[in-house]
Amino acid sequence: MDKLIIEGGSPISGTLKISGAKNAALPILAAALLADGPVHIHNLPHLNDITTMITLLRCMGCDITIDEKLGVEIDPRSVNDLTAPYELVKTMRASILVLGPLLARHGVANVSFPGGCAIGSRPVDIHLKGLEAMGAEITIDEGFIRARTNGRLKGANIVMEKVTVGGTENLLMAAVLAEGTTVLHNAAREPEIVDLAEFLIAMGAQIEGVGTDTLRVHGVSRLNPCTFTVMPDRIETGTFLAAAAAARGKVRLTHTRAGILDAVLAKFEEAGAYISCGDDWIELDMKGNRPKAVSFRTAPYPAFPTDMQSQFTAMNAVAEGKGAVVETIFENRLIQVHELNRMGANILLEGNTAIVTGVEKLKGAPVMASDLRASASLVIAGMIAEGTTIVDRIYHIDRGYECIEEKLRQLGANIRRVPG
Ligand SMILES: CC(=O)N[C@H]1[C@@H](OP(=O)(O)OP(=O)(O)OC[C@H]2O[C@@H](n3ccc(=O)[nH]c3=O)[C@H](O)[C@@H]2O)O[C@H](CO)[C@@H](O)[C@@H]1O
Ligand SMILES: C=C(OP(=O)(O)O)C(=O)O
């Protein structure tokens, strides 16, 4: 297994280009299954999760051409296997996102049950209840979700009992080809859902209320080929900002959007960062100052994202003062604090709250990555620690960060990958 070796303490400054958003690209790739011809998708990030989704679509029979310049062309007309196998689903929970499109387009779907992961139990009951309300018959058999429908799915009035990103995406993708109108209440409003909706609209879907918590979808009988560019990754953006803030540095990020990071940028300002933004760039400058610890609570968009919690916890670890971090979305998403404490952090865990008292310096140590964003927090910690940090199990980080060590080296970090 590859490891990252980081010599801490290098000054951090420079300019970086942000990649396309993993969490928008994954549902958009799944939604390509709905089209009646080839779709062209640009700005897909080079990530293991994207490769997994492309492999999954190919297994189902999609004809896929990848061109570095022209993007990815997906022709779903040749789909002949309506199964998402365990081998792929177990490496990426977002495989569940093919359920809605397969059912809507082909009337049958067999998707391996995704199960939980390091960050929590992550059930999919709301996805399944919504599809049943649209007329699907669903059974769980040999670890598979087996869904079928007699004719087209039917429009329905669906109240989702929790705000779920994946649930909203699956039901939205199912509803666009259903017969009649579907109303999704208590929908998630994440920018990646807006991007997915814009992709579906570009294919001819009729969706009202995009960006709100009520999506009204008038089903159409077919969706057309289209060309689409994936939005920038707001979590990659926030992660590099957090690295610069923790290191008292300065960074300019291009090909991104400030408007999708309001809650995060407000917390950086509270931590003492000077933020300036343009149409497609964000600059953060600590002017050499130590960050101030901030308190926050994760919640669905537009509130503070759970996917930025661990990076802020790493910044708080070396900040001035004390911050309370409350994780409300996933029950296990504070596990990285144990590794941060091994590096000399002072973090007290009380249920779903981490009380972080900033220390002057962290000390390098061998640490173990347990999930994607936890890994990012350990890399940030390694960059600001005294001495050497070795981050093991970095396959997690490769799921969601494109060439992270190359990008961080561009900012001045002393970081290298060693094959394991
Ligand atoms: C690929 C992708 O986009 N992943 C993101 C997506 O994950 P994902 O779509 O899995 O997360 P959800 O928004 O669905 O989960 C939110 C909460 O709802 C619960 N829940 C969800 C579905 C369900 O049927 N029943 C249920 O109880 C989950 O266990 C969790 O506690 O949104 C999360 C929350 O912003 C992010 O951290 C992930 O990065
Ligand atoms: C939790 C994440 O991803 P996934 O839902 O794919 O596990 C994430 O992107 O932080």
- The domains of the chain are located at 3-19+232-418, 22-227
Q: How do residues 282-337 score in pLDDT, each as one tens digit?
A: 999 999 999 999 999 999 999 999 999 999 999 999 999 999 999 999 999 998 99
Residue type present at position 175: A
Contacts of 132 (CB under 8 A, 6+ apart): 138
Q: What is the ipTM of this complex?
A: 0.99
Give the pLDDT score at 24.
98
CA of 306 to the centre of ligand 2 (A): 10
Give the pLDDT score at 415.
98
Q: Which residues are catalytic?
A: 117
**Nearest C-alpha to atom 8 of ligand 2 is from which residue?**
307
Q: How do residues 381-403 score in pLDDT, each as one tens digit?
A: 999 999 999 999 999 999 999 99
Q: Which atom of ligand 2 is nearest to the CA of 26?
A: 6
Confidence of residue 74 (pLDDT cuts 50, 70, 90): very high
- Structure tokens, 226: 């289209």
Give the pLDDT score at 69.
79
3-19+232-418 with 22-227: one CATH topology? yes
CA gap 420, 410 in Å, rounded: 24
Q: Which CATH number is 3-19+232-418 given?
A: 3.65.10.10
Contacts of 338 (CB under 8 A, 6+ apart): none
Q: How do residues 129-173 score in pLDDT, each as one tens digit?
A: 999 999 999 999 999 999 999 999 999 999 999 999 999 999 999
Which of 3.30.1950.10, 3.65.10.10, 3.40.50.300, 3.40.50.800 is the CATH number of 22-227? 3.65.10.10
Give the total residue count for the chain: 420
Is the CB of 126 inside a 6 Å radius of any atom of ligand 1? Answer: yes
Smallest Cα–Cα separation from 198: which of 230, 246, 244?
230
Is the CB of 134 inside a 6 Å radius of any atom of ligand 2? Answer: no
Give the pLDDT score at 70.
78
CA of 78 to the centre of ligand 1 (A): 31
Are 167 and 114 a contacting pair, CB within 8 Å?
A: no
Give the pLDDT score at 62.
98
Is the CB of 23 inside a 6 Å radius of any atom of ligand 1? Answer: yes
Q: How do residues 327-340 score in pLDDT, each as one tens digit?
A: 999 999 998 999 99
392 CA to centre of own chain: 21
Which helix (DSSP H) or strand (DSSP E) does residue 263 occupy?
helix 262-270
Is the CB of 235 inside a 6 Å radius of any atom of ligand 1? Answer: no
Give the pLDDT score at 117.
84
Give the pLDDT score at 68.
81
